[in-house]
Structure 1
Amino acid sequence: MSKIPLARYIFQRLRQYGVDHVHGVPGDNLLQALDHIAPAGSRWVGCCNELNAAYAADGYARVRGVGAVFTTMGVGELSAANAVAGSQAERVPVVHLVGVPSRASMAAQGIYPNVIHHSLQPGGVLEPFREIGRLLTQGRDEFRSSASVYGEVTAGHFAATFDSMLRRSFVQSKTMYFPLRADLVDVGVDSSWLEKGLDDGEQGLRSIDEENILKALREAKQPVILVDRGLGIDGLKDEINELVRISGIPTFCMPSGAGMVDNSLPNYHGVHSGPFGRIDSMDYVNSSDLVLTFGPMFSDTNTFGWRTVPKASAGNPNMKLMILASNTTPPKRFSTSSTNPVTLENITKETLRRAIEMIKHNPIRPRAARLIKDWRDAGKPKALHADEPITQTDLYDKLSTYLRPHDTILLGNATPLLGARDFFLPEGARVIASGQWFSIGHMLPAALGVALAKRGLEGARGRGRTILLDGDGSFQVTAQELSTIIAQRLDVTVFVFNNGGYAYERLIHGPEEEYNDIAPWRYLDLPRAFGADRAREKFGYETQTHAVRTWGELDVLLADDKFCSGPGLKMVELLLGRNDVPERFQTLFRGAQEEPRLIRKVQS
């Protein structure tokens, strides 16, 4: 029987499923394991801290389907916990490997007064950390007790457990927490196990459920489709688009699902943002008798205080809300809606393909969407004076003309999250945006992960630019990872929206208070401080920096072919007014001051 070290087994298994890069920060409990990454055919990507590494793994997973972050126990894993929790909340499969001490070290620390570093107390060195990891990931009990890690367990047991957890991570679209003991790293396990793929566990819906979906579609007089990217639905994008195309049913994306549907389809009508969108979609959605929703994240922020959650009414009491999830468990009830949703939990590619074939043979005849105006016409750029300062009210229409096929646009958890959701996306372009977690600082290191994940991919998946739109406050949280983008010589374009602080918060409360201000940075000096000059001299890596204040300056920049098509890091500082946000969202922020009252009303 041929054997392979446990650590190499883990990295080779991950590589089989698309993980060519492992993000993290080295620590004493994982150093030996790191030696097995290169022999497994993968690369280590050292990040500035564990939080950023986990954010990068999240971005990587949104392209490849799974990402990996490797930290040391305690100080390392707790730093990563915020990002891992966000991946779990938004159903992004991230594998969190944690280097833990050897069995001998654990035995020694139990002898008073010996204490292991990075621990909270003697005798409880791992329990709090493991419990946090368990709660933030799959919530299963494989490593709940000390005996499960430090008892009479073998490397083979760890390998089998890893495979089982990884399969479940794929099936349930969840993160996983896996402690890797330092003394088991080099212990051999059966290499032939790698020749067997992981059973994907796709069971699909029962035929009766498929029939119920088709029956509901055929009986509906005014059906509508809403598409998000939660609940594991992201991997069904192609099938969802074909269903939208072949059915002709009027379709919207939820804000965090922007880009999930081909924008050129005639029955696609933009992002469902109600009165805050390019067009007001509320009346049409709420007058529909069937709302078919794929992977919705009905969070307060994603639905503007639950305003856009489909609701039955006195005029439409029989609305049917169907929530479709991919092999994961969606919420059973939304207290914000008077509509009791029907939830179907095991939508697979085959499920949708069968539905598409049935519709081809027996077409649906939906009503055309009766909308006030075409969302595409509403987004055409206005004529603006060259010497006028840029504002976010018109900025996003202008930036839409800059986008190209297969671009990946990341929206930082700042004002771009609102304005850019209405981009008209060219073929194959996609948006990455939070729908539930909304942690500021997320998207800069996520852009690192996205750019790495796209590198080396063949065909359309590997093409297109990686573009980040981020607020200045969000950017400052994780700005160090700009240095890793430079060190990895990645092609990334970063737009920093500089309004000197937290514009969201100023408009909600304390517009003149200093707690909503941030330190003034020289953003365009950062690439040089982070090693851009050395990268240029040693590797020919190019860096561009641009400050933009007026429409004329923006026009010149967007007409520059080197900026639009050239390689390397391109960083743009957009200098904006202190309280500048897109005009149509001003009322939203004013209403946010009354949010506690709104929540009480919605829940009553």
Structure 2
Amino acid sequence: MTALDERPASRPTTTTTVSVAEYLGARLLQAGVTDLFGVPGDFNLDLLDGLATVEGLAWVGSPNELGAGYAADAYARVRGLAVLVTTYGVGELSAINALAGAAAEDAPLLHVVGSPRRAAVEAGALVHHTLADGEFGHFSRAAAELTVVTETLTLERAAEQIDTVVLAATTHRRPAYLSVPQDLALARIDAGPLEHRLTAASDPAALHAFESRVTELLVDAQRPVLVVGQLVARFGLGADLADLAARAGVAVVTQLSARGVLDPEHPSFAGDHAGTMLDNGTAELVAAADVVVQVGTLLTSELTGFGSHRRPGADTPFLAATEAGFGATATGRVLLPDALAALDRALAGRRGPRFVRAGRPVAATPVHAPDAPLTQAATWDLLAAALPEHTALLADTGTAYWGAAAMPLPADTVFGGQPVWSSIGYALPAVLGQGLADRTRRPVLVIGDGAAQMTVQELSTIAAAGLAPVVLLLDNRGYTIERALQSPRASYNDVAAWDWCALVPALTGDRGRAVSVRTAGELSAALADAFADTTHLVFVQAHLDADDTPPLIDALARLATAAKG
């Protein structure tokens, strides 16, 4: 489990009652949340006023709810929980794309909605932010499609409902939804439950059944391989995985959604895995394994190389957020941290040989003529050479993500993106969430111009929060990944030209600066300068040809075309 579980329960007051807002704030602090993302609206103002009295919580306002939701998603991945506060109707619907992304990417985001007063709901009043039909359940029903639990708070069950949504989000590492009527936000409720931390537990019988069977499968395994997915990172179990792998001497491959979970120099790390889409030997390694263990994986098309991976069989062990089992059958409720500990014990008794990582050829340092026009190949080579250790590299969907996915990472690098939901514009607000969640790592963002136009206003929030990321904008005048997939000359793949070097200081003031580069030499110098300047948000606009793509996009396009038949 993470260090957050070792905190004692906080006690917000010595009285026997607290307001609903204070109770919620106390539970959030216990879960490691210190920043609240969102946008104010009249139905949530009482709630925000109440949360403002909770010492230790800071408000982070965004220009719009979608950006706030993306920021909360990234924060949740680091802290194990994040909170997004919006108003009813217009606010929550603006954020619903972010809520869906958090569901797809296993991010424990708690969406708290300030809703109309109970009397208005009971009377079916035709108030603003509704569909003027007297029906107030439309939006909570939409949220129910995307969350593990949806609650509309009542006075009688307020503490229980708050505990339910917080525990569900942190246990499942998925979004949850809480609607707080305006007239209940400051209502007094019993503070007694706050004396006890919220905890979840595995079913002992199910855990024992899983451990017994996986031990049988692994005891004589000669070539076991662990395929590791994003849930390991979401639960903060990267260090546990590294220790397990080192002790057991077992091969580990990571899905693209789990890049950076295991240090690239770890003796058990065999490479990133996406079926045959990656030409690095992991597909052959997994195919030759006698036991493949799926640890927190998600088998979507892009993450499996469009189905070119080895498919799980009836005896394939799997470890998920709240269950573990074999093939398509779970043994019961087994939480991922407990399942990983059971796997550790099972591997301890394995009699087979230790994995020996094949020697990796030392790649020649690429040479790019300083005066040559900038290319995708040069961009990724130069970024790989310049990127320091201990950063958080965030890559937006498109050429940015698939270029970064093939780039070697320095030691101790967090890698983030949205390979499952793939909503362009996500990664720019994610810089805000990542940077606030872990101020020890400088965020580095790579994003296309089309994606950046979606959420660029969040640069102002990032700068106001005192963060100083490095932003590399891939300016190829549109959606190059779509050009690679279909209709490269279609006008719908073009975007309007922006003066980025004028826009950045307009949004960030003296906290940010921008530079435009067109050659390999200019990019090399700009990156060196950006990483040396740790006090400013540094924005580098890299001009690229509209048809130039990273090699991995070419492979992606081929497999996607083949999958369509």
* Correspondence for 1:377 among 345, 352, 362: 362
Mapped partners of 1:268, 1:341: distance in 2: 27
**Do 1:229 and 1:256's aligned partners in 2 also have CA atoms closer than 8 Å?**
yes
Label 1:404 to 1:214 Cα distance change in 2 as closer, same or farther (>3 A): farther
Q: Which residue of 2 aligns with 1:475?
A: 452
Q: Residue 435 in 1 paired to residue 412 in 2?
A: no
Corresponding residue of 1:486: 463
Q: Deviations over 1:241-293 (max 9, x none)?
A: 11222222222111111011121112312211344435243222222221112
Tell me which of 49, 54, 58 is aligned to 1:35.
49
Percent identity over the alignment?
Answer: 32
Would you say 1:131 and 2:152 are equivalent positions?
Answer: no
Matching residue's letter, 1:513: A
| CA distance in 2: counterparts of 1:157 and 1:232, whole angstroms | 33
Cα offset for 1:21?
1.0
The DSSP-based 3-state class of the residue aligned with 2:284 is: helix
For 1:169, the equivalent position in structure 2 comes to 169
Pairing 1:88-103 to 2, within 5 Å after superposition = 88-103=103-118
Q: Which of the residues 417, 424, 429 maps onto 1:445?
A: 429
The DSSP-based 3-state class of the residue aligned with 2:51 is coil
How much has 1:306 moved relative to structure 2? Answer: 1.8
Alignment-derived partner of residue 600 in structure 1? none
Counterpart of 2:344, as a letter, is I
Q: Matched residue of 1:431: which SS?
A: strand
Partner of 2:111, secondary structure, is strand
Map 1:47-446; keep pairs closer than 5 Å. Answer: 47-108=62-123, 110=124, 115-124=126-135, 126-139=136-149, 142-143=151-152, 153-154=154-155, 156-203=156-203, 206-230=207-231, 234-277=235-278, 279-308=280-309, 310-311=310-311, 320-327=315-322, 340=327, 346-353=334-341, 355-356=343-344, 359-360=347-348, 364-366=352-354, 368=356, 374=360, 377-378=362-363, 381-446=365-430
Gaps of 5+ in 1: 144-148, 313-317, 333-339, 456-462, 537-541, 598-604
- Residue 337 (structure 1) aligns with: none
Offset at 1:139?
Answer: 4.8
Aligned residue for 1:545?
Answer: 514
Contact 1:24 1:50 in 2 (8 A): yes
Amino acid at match of 1:558: L
1:416-445 CA distance string (max 9 Å, x none) = 211212343333321012231111111111
Separation (CA, whole Å) in 2 of partners of 1:421 and 1:432: 10
| 1:218, distance to aligned residue in structure 2 (A) | 2.6
- The one-letter amino acid of 2:395's match is L
Give the whole-Å Cα distance in 1 for the aligned partners of 2:180 and 2:449.
38
Cα distance between partner residues in 2 of 1:123 and 1:546: 53
Conserved? CA contact 1:225–1:291, under 8 Å? yes
The 5 Å alignment of 1:449-598 reads 449-455=433-439, 463-530=440-507, 532-533=508-509, 536=510, 542-560=511-529, 563-597=531-565
Q: Please tell me whether the aligned partners of residues 319 and 340 of structure 2 are also in contact (alpha carbons under 8 angstroms).
A: no
In 2 relative to 1, CA 105–342 (structure 1 residues): closer, same or farther, beyond 3 Å?
closer
TM superposition score normalised by structure 1? 0.85
C-alpha contact (below 8 Å) 1:91/1:231 kept by paired residues = no
| CA distance, structure 2, for counterparts of residue 568 and residue 193 of structure 1 | 44
User: What letter is aligned with 2:138?
Assistant: P
* Contact 1:29 1:182 (8 Å CA) reproduced: yes
Q: TM-score, normalised by structure 2?
A: 0.90
Secondary structure, aligned partner of 1:29 = helix
Q: Is the 8 A contact 1:409 1:467 kept in 2?
A: yes
Aligned equivalents of 1:214, 1:361: Cα separation in 2 = 8
CA distance in 1, matches of 2:218, 2:350: 11
Residue of structure 2 equivalent to 1:335: none
Any stretches of 5+ residues in structure 2 without a counterpart?
Answer: 1-14
- Which amino acid is the alignment partner of residue 535 of structure 2? P
User: Partner amino acid for 1:365?
Assistant: P
Asked if structure 1 preserves the Cα contact closer than 8 Å seen for 2:77 and 2:234, the reply is no
Superposed CA deviations along residues 37-61 of structure 1, whole A, max 9, x for unmatched, are 2321211111111111111110111
Match of 1:12 among 1, 18, 26: 26
For the 8 Å contact 1:22–1:67, the answer to whether it is kept is: yes
| Number of residue equivalences | 548
**C-alpha distance in structure 1 between counterparts of 2:178 and 2:401, whole Å:** 33
Report the secondary structure of 1:35's partner residue: helix
In 2, the alpha carbon distance for the partners of 1:34 and 1:359 equals 49
Distance 1:343 1:501, change over 3 A: farther
1:324–1:464 Cα change, 3 Å? same
* Of 207-216 and 88-97, the range deviating more from structure 2: 207-216
2:36 counterpart letter in structure 1: V
Q: Cα gap change, 1:438/1:470 in structure 2, threshold over 3 Å: closer, same or farther?
A: same
Query: Does the Cα contact within 8 Å between 1:274 and 1:280 map onto a contact in 2?
Result: no
Give the distance between the partners of 2:262 and 2:328, measured in 1 at CA: 23
Inter-partner Cα distance in structure 2 for 1:359 and 1:346: 18
Residue 246 of structure 1 aligns to a residue whose secondary structure is helix
- Which residue of structure 1 aligns with residue 4 of structure 2? none
